[in-house]
């Protein structure tokens, strides 16, 4: 049988297209507590609130350009900031929480309490993914307590609020994941440290303490991967935190996280967003976490 050059050329095009379709795609996800709707100024003006300061949040978003944004403390101005940043699809679960996407939001889901958590399903180039945004209670404030309390006392304190909240939230999420059979990405302000950070090799930076923080342990037990720590497995090399950096008398710790679960997802890059944007300043008391996923 004789095969012409034209037929071979057409076959080559189809083979190339098939291989191209199999190449992994990337998705950039960011979680950020913008601090009272992005109103705060810098330390020089004692963090005075002014709507003009929201321009700095916008500059960070334009600079980092995440595909999906988990926003906490949305409040007065977060929705307008996201709109100005070019997000075509947004869902506000409460005054506190909102999710913004460059891809269509095809469903919204109420879980637990709206102020603490909400979920959406997003069609990411034909792949449906469940996204969960959350905020856990800021009390007890362990940034002060940790100076004097024992690890056991700190863990016990978590059980009174944050551990109860994350357990209720994850019970809902696990049920959804089992029913929908979708990959899951969870981001938010957990207001709690990680047992992956507070280890023997880092205790000199943690008041001499090793703490098995129960919220992060629950996330691991439920099968979720800490995307930042997956890329940066040695916490000694990444001691920058996402909160506490504005105060001189407390440590800076990583309390904001992006977790994921799903065999088709993997983290290719992750960082803490902390630099001042061009022509502005970083005006939140929380640094952001940005992770890039392959799927």
Note down pLDDT in tens along the chain; length 295 residues.
455 655 455 555 555 555 555 788 999 999 999 999 999 999 888 999 999 999 999 999 999 999 999 999 999 999 999 999 999 999 999 999 999 999 999 999 999 999 999 999 999 999 999 999 999 999 999 898 899 999 999 999 999 999 999 999 999 999 999 999 999 999 999 999 999 999 999 999 999 999 999 999 999 999 999 999 999 999 999 999 999 999 988 999 999 999 999 999 999 999 999 999 999 999 999 999 999 999 9
For residue 256, which phi and psi values (nearest 5 degrees)?
-110, 135
Handedness of CA 289, 94, 116, 133 (dihedral sign): negative
Residues 258, 40: Cα–Cα separation, whole Å: 24
Any domain includes 73:
yes
**Burial (CB count within 10 angstroms: exposed 0-12, middle 13-18, buried 19+), residue 49:** middle
Contact indicator for 50, 36 with CB cutoff of 8 Å: no
Tokens of 20: 């191209």
pLDDT score at 144: 86
| Residue in the block written with tokens 């959804």 | 176
CA angle 38, 64, 182 (to 5 degrees): 95
Which of these, 288, 284, 287, 286, lies nearest to 39 by C-alpha position? 284
Position 1 scores a pLDDT of 46
pTM higher than the cut 0.85: yes
Asked, for residue 241, whether it belongs to a domain, the answer is yes
pLDDT at 122: 99
Domain assignment present for residue 81? The answer is yes
Q: Which residues pair with 31 in a beta bridge?
A: 70, 289
Q: How far apart are CA 132 and CA 92, in angstroms?
A: 12
pLDDT number for residue 43: 85
In a domain? residue 4: no
Count how many domains the chain has.
Answer: 1
Q: Give the pLDDT confidence score for residue 164 in this predicted structure.
A: 98
Left if phi > 0, otherwise alpha if psi is -120 to 50, otherwise beta: which for 2?
beta
How many residues does the structure list for the chain? 295
Does residue 102 lie in a domain region? yes
Tokens of 54: 């929201």
Here the CATH number for the domain that contains residue 236 is: 3.60.10.10
- Residue 96: φ, ψ to 5°: -85, -50
Which string of DSSP letters, residue by residue, matches the chain? ----HHHHHHHHHHHHHHHHHTSPPEEEEEEEE-SGGGTB--GGGTT-B-GGGHHHHHHHHHHH--SEEEEES-TTTHHHHHHHTT-SEEEE-SSS-EEEESS-EEEEEE-S-TTTEEEEEEEETTEEEEEEEEE----S-HHHHTTTS-HHHHHHHHHTTHHHHHHHHHHHHHHHHHHH---EEEEEE--S--TTTSSGGGGGGTTT-----HHHHHHHHTT-EEHHHHH---GGG----SBSTT-SSS--B--EEEEEE-TT-EEEEEEEE-SPPTTS----SS-EEEEEEE-
Instruction: Quote the pLDDT of residue 23.
Output: 84
| Cα–Cα dist 23/251, whole Å | 42
Question: Quick one: pLDDT at residue 44?
Answer: 84
Range of the structural domain that residue 77 is part of? 25-294
What pLDDT is attached to residue 5? 58
Is 1 inside any structural domain? no
In a domain, 11, yes or no: no
Residue 162 lies in a domain: yes
The DSSP bridge partners found for residue 40 are: 49
């Amino acid at each position: 049988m004789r095969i012409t050059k034209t037929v071979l050329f057409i076959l080559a095009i189809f083979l190339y297209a098939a291989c191209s379709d199999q190449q992994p795609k990337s998705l950039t996800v960011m979680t950020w507590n913008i601090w009272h709707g992005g109103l705060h100024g810098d330390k020089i003006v004692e963090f005075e609130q002014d709507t003009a300061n929201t321009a700095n949040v916008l500059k960070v978003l334009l600079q980092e350009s995440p595909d999906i944004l988990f926003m906490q403390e949305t409040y007065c101005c977060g929705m307008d900031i996201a709109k100005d940043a070019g997000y075509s699809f947004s869902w506000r679960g409460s005054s506190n929480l909102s999710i913004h996407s460059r891809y269509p939001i095809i469903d919204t889901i109420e879980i637990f309490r709206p102020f603490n958590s909400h979920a959406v399903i997003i069609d990411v180039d034909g792949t449906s993914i469940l996204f969960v945004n959350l905020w856990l209670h800021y009390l007890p404030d362990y940034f002060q307590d940790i100076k004097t309390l024992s690890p056991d006392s700190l863990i016990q304190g978590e059980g009174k609020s944050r551990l109860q909240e994350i357990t209720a939230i994850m019970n809902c999420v696990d049920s959804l994941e089992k029913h929908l059979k979708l990959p899951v990405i969870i981001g938010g302000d957990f207001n709690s440290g990680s047992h992956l950070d507070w280890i023997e090799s880092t205790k000199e930076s943690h008041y001499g303490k090793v703490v098995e923080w129960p919220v992060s342990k629950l996330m691991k037990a439920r099968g979720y991967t800490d995307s930042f720590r997956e890329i940066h497995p040695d916490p000694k090399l990444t001691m920058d935190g996402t909160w506490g950096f504005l105060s001189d008398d407390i440590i800076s710790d990583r309390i904001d996280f992006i977790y994921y679960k799903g065999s088709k997802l993997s983290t290719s890059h992750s960082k803490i967003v902390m630099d001042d944007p061009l022509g502005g300043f970083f005006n939140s008391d929380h640094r952001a976490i940005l992770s890039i996923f392959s799927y």
